[in-house]
Amino acid sequence: MFEVQDVRLDPDSRRTWRGVEEIMLSRKEFDLVHALIRRAGQIVTRDELMREVWNTTFWTSSKTIDVHLGWVRRKLGDDSRQPRLITTIRGQGLRFETRDTMR
């Protein structure tokens, strides 16, 4: 079980919660959150995400990660203009924040 901020993720049952509410994620959405939350606080590159989540070393589309990230942010209630859970580090990758830095 991973728990960061108020997001819990159980890789065994493939279930995710935000607070007490269970969040229904698609397989790829879950894999994306799992790849990020298990390395919370660290930057995960887009190349790493393509390998781990999509099992490929080539990009099928430059927007693949962005589209899935948008869906994940919406489902987790993370404002894409001022994200508190998953932030984009320009030119480097994505990071699941270990604490809410916007308080």
Q: How many domains does the chain have?
A: 1
Average per-residue pLDDT in the chain? 92
Provide the pairing of β-strand 2-4 with 7-10.
antiparallel
pLDDT at 59: 64
pLDDT at 62: 64
Residue 84 in this model has a pLDDT that exceeds 70: yes
Task: Specify the CATH number for the domain of residue 39.
Answer: 1.10.10.10
* Residue 59 belongs to a domain: yes
Higher pLDDT, 62 or 8: 8
* Residue 34 belongs to a domain: yes
Tell me, what amino acid is at 32? L
* Residue 86 belongs to a domain: yes
Domain span at residue 15 reads 2-96
pLDDT digits (tens, 9 = 90+) for 7-17: 999 999 999 99
* Residue 102 belongs to a domain: no
Can you give the pTM of this predicted structure?
0.92
| CA pair distance 19, 77, nearest whole angstrom | 11
